[in-house]
Structure 1
Amino acid sequence: MNAKNLFKFVAVVVSLFGLSLTFAPEFMAEQYLTNPSWLNDGVKMVARSYGTHLLAYGAACWYVRNAGSTLGGKVMLLTIMLSNLSLIVVHTLAVLNGIEKATGWGQVILSIVLAVWSGTLFRQQQSVVA
């Protein structure tokens, strides 16, 4: 459970989601939305924009995978932790409000794992510096 493994794992997972959202928003709507007819041109544009952001996020994780306890590595650990804490809230509310199917709970679980993993590594690196 080191930072290099976390960065590789995050790079792969977010790249898969990024590719799916960028190039197949209809497929993702079928998988996640309780009412896929909500997918219109505006929602597709937002999904594709978010998908390209995830691809960039994945590339950043891949390039920082060997950074160890450098400032760049610490910043990426903090970014992974904060973004996943936000995703926990967003996807939990989406499932509870009937916007997402039960598959959204999978995203919540993945985000909990990533938030805990990155937070643990971030705290370990902070205590080594202090």
Structure 2
Amino acid sequence: LSTVRENPAAGKILATTLDYPMVMDTVGCDPTWLKANAKAAQALANSYFQALDMIKADPTKSNEIMGAAVKQTGEQFAKSSSFLRWQDKAANQKFFAGELQSFMKDATAILLEAGIIRKAPEDLNVTFDASFIK
């Protein structure tokens, strides 16, 4: 996306998480692993939200750390990530309380039509576990 932002002739950005804050990043774990490692799964979720707290409290240091992971300076990462909307715990709770189901219903119809999936899940609620963000 940053390539298109820097060179509009290279393409057009239709939407970003600023326009439609649906799913920016996800963490997926095997259900069997979640049951066997509930404490580790909770620590993973807690760590994500602690990282978001750090981004708010110390954006300079946070951008340096995240930028280093993608071979950017902190300043470069701050610029590219300015188009992201980080979803905190409250936003995640709201999303998983109803917005996700609506999104999944729409996405299922698109995936079926495109032939990516052959059959819609009977119950979309069994495809995720929101207990770690309560």
The bucket for the TM-score relative to the shorter chain is 0.3 to 0.5
RCO (CA 8 Å, sep 6+): is it higher in 1 or 2? 1
**TM, length-normalised to structure 2:** 0.32
**TM, length-normalised to structure 1:** 0.33
- Larger Rg, first or second structure (1 or 2): 2
